[in-house]
Structure 1
Amino acid sequence: MKKISCEMCGSPDVVKQDGLFVCQSCGTKYSPEEAKKLIVEGSVKLDDSDSVNNLRVLAYRKEKEGKFAEAEELFTKIVEKSPYDHMAVYHQHYCNSSKDRQYYGVGSESIYLESCFRDACHVIAEMPIEEDKRNALRELISYTFPIMVSESRKLMDIAFPDITPSDDSTPEWHFKASVQSMVNICGDSIDEIFPDDDEFNKIKLTLWKIATNIMYISEVYPVSDGIKKLNQERYEKNLAKIRKFEPEYAIA
């Protein structure tokens, strides 16, 4: 018996809708001419790894095109098939936050990167093989670290002239707080997986130091007493984390 198998996800569930053939699994559409090329003889045997790889290609394409709802659905399918796919989890949550990022604007990229990174780390922490954890965390850091640096540099480029105590709710202050939180939480997430590892200690210390410097710089600007107290508490807490590894650390 001849069947049509989707070339993107491998699913045999392809039906004709409005003159096109549509995969019910991943949503890919084919013209009648294209569908003819997908006809296979006999029962369709799916290779799950090929299916996941094809879904991944399509999901990244949809994300790049800004079709976040479609991309999220595809990343969700990947996670269902491959629960330890940490990058799929990262992008699943990233696509899910697309509307919020557009709504909140400045600083929102940092907020959601922090959340995506933490969720991916939770998946990595559950991996049963230690070397898989290491490789997965390396991949996650390699992907996200340039974004963290970019967001931190944006913060440093922002001028804060004439800020008064009532201005700690401005977009600039939200951006400062979001970047500080992003690098700090990402450092904490790494620490939870590898609390004392030479390779990852260097990375989390770099993140904690960035966060601590942001807290220190923020003291230059007048803010409300409540925000000032909170910043001081966070600053001291971060210094304590860093000094576990570098006892003499101090901001010059």
Structure 2
Amino acid sequence: MKRLTCEMCGSTDLIKQDGVFVCQTCGCKYSIEEAKKMMVEGTVDVSGSTVKVDNERKIENLRTLADRAKAEGDTETAAKYFEELLKEDPNNWEANFYTIYYAAHNIKITQIGSAANRVSNIIDTVYSLIKENLHTPDEQKAAGREVAYAVANFSSYLIPNATNNLGTTTESIDKAVDEWLVPICLMNIHVGDSLVKYFGDYEIAEKAYAVVANFTGMEITETGRQVMDLAKNRLIPIREEKAKKELEEKEAIAAATKRRTEEYWACHEEERKQLEAQMESLLENRKHLNSQVEALRKEMDNVPSIAVRDEKQKVMGDLKEQLKSLGFFKGKEKKSIQARIDELKHEMEQLTASIESEKAPLQQKISELMGEVRKLDEQVGTITIELTKER
């Protein structure tokens, strides 16, 4: 009795679906012609009884298995299939990267630095392959960012393991920083450098450098400080260029808006003149109202009772000086002067009330005028918006 045997996993559980045979164990697909070549007689393994699928089909199946393991977070299986894919397709960027990347996940604490170094060492090769083998800039950029995001996730995986095992002595902490954290940081810097070198992707490169520049704790060793400074120096030109572009974009938008506005009013000259005439009239009225307000405020500062109160204040001050100069035996004179001071205090209290009474109608008038000024301001604002709004 004949049966089909999957060349990928050895399973005989293959079912025909949509014109192809699909392995129910690993998901590999075979055309009808390929299936015919894979037919095996009986249950005995006869040398030469199976025929290899063409390389293209095998590569496709390996990629399917590798991608499935990657999606499921099965790092060990993903590393295995990407390694097999690498043998079949040496120029495949995913196989080159993920073979090392997933293998680096299966490490011990003491291997953190070497794992980061292995990933770091493959980055330039991977980006070079992306540049050479992917056809469009969008595909290249997307693949470059996939690598960058994977390295960022790897850093997030390594850093807690490193920081939680720094030790308690100065010597052990310094050693862990230099042997574990420094390689992690250099891996991120290497990603940023390659993003810039191959794709000019400063946006994601900035994030990679920032991870290092803001890594609190790295500064406790000389090497750590040097690595942080390296990242900070990488950030300076990127952020300066970013700020420059943002300014240029704002200026370009403003210039375009101004140009459209000018073009609009060039075609609506009569409407513009009418609006400008209205504004000029409003501003003239506003100026006149403000001058009235200023005059009223000066008048408030000089209502008649203020001068009278100031004079009485001066007299009371003189009396207080006289009172202080009188000797112990001048009781009668002191009493007389104190009585006059008390009388002046009462008069001044009355004058204060008179001042408020005299100011009240002036303040009311000022409030009314300011209300009219606000209305004019609203009208001026409406016209200004109409004259300057984007067209």
TM-score bracket relative to the smaller structure: 0.5 to 0.7
Tell whether the 8 Å contact from 1:71 to 1:95 is kept in structure 2 after alignment: no
Identity %: 17
State the distance in 2 between where 1:110 and 1:79 align.
Answer: 25
Task: Report SS of the residue matched to 1:30.
Answer: coil
Deviation at 1:209, TM superposition (A): 1.5
CA contact (8 A) 1:3 1:40 kept: no
Larger Rg: 2
Higher helix share: 2
**Greater RCO between the two (CA within 8 Å, min separation 6)?**
1
Deviation of 1:205 after TM superposition, in Å, equals 0.8
Distance 1:95 1:72, change over 3 A: farther
Please, which runs of 5 or more residues in structure 2 have no aligned partner?
16-20, 22-29, 39-50, 243-391
Q: How many residues align?
A: 210
Q: How does 1:1-252 map to 2 (within 5 A)?
A: 6=6, 23=7, 26=8, 28-31=9-12, 40-41=35-36, 50-60=57-67, 64=74, 66-67=76-77, 70-80=80-90, 83=91, 85-95=92-102, 97=104, 101-102=107-108, 104-127=110-133, 129-131=135-137, 132-152=139-159, 154=160, 158=164, 163-164=169-170, 167-170=173-176, 173-195=178-200, 200-214=201-215, 217-219=217-219, 221=220, 223=221, 228=222, 230-247=223-240
Shift of the alpha carbon at 1:246?
Answer: 2.0
Runs of at least 5 residues in structure 1 that lack an aligned partner in the other structure: 7-22
Q: Is the 8 A contact 2:166 2:173 kept in 1?
A: no
Deviation at 1:175, TM superposition (A): 2.5
Q: TM-score, normalised by structure 1?
A: 0.61
Q: For 1:206 and 1:92, how far apart are their aligned partners in 2? A: 25
How far does residue 190 in structure 1 lie from its aligned partner after superposition?
Answer: 0.9
Q: What is the letter of the counterpart of residue 30 of structure 1?
A: S
- Considering only aligned residues, what root-mean-square deviation do their CA atoms show, in Å? 4.3
Provide the C-alpha distance between the structure 2 equivalents of 1:189 and 1:140, rounded to a whole number of angstroms: 10
Q: How far apart are residue 116 of structure 1 and its match?
A: 4.4
1:36-94 Cα shifts (integer Å, max 9, x gaps): x78834798967654322112334567827357743541223424xx2x3222212223
Amino acid at match of 2:181: K
Answer whether contact 2:192 2:209 (CA < 8 A) is retained. Answer: yes
Superposed CA deviations along residues 163-191 of structure 1, whole A, max 9, x for unmatched, are: 42575324x54222122112111111211
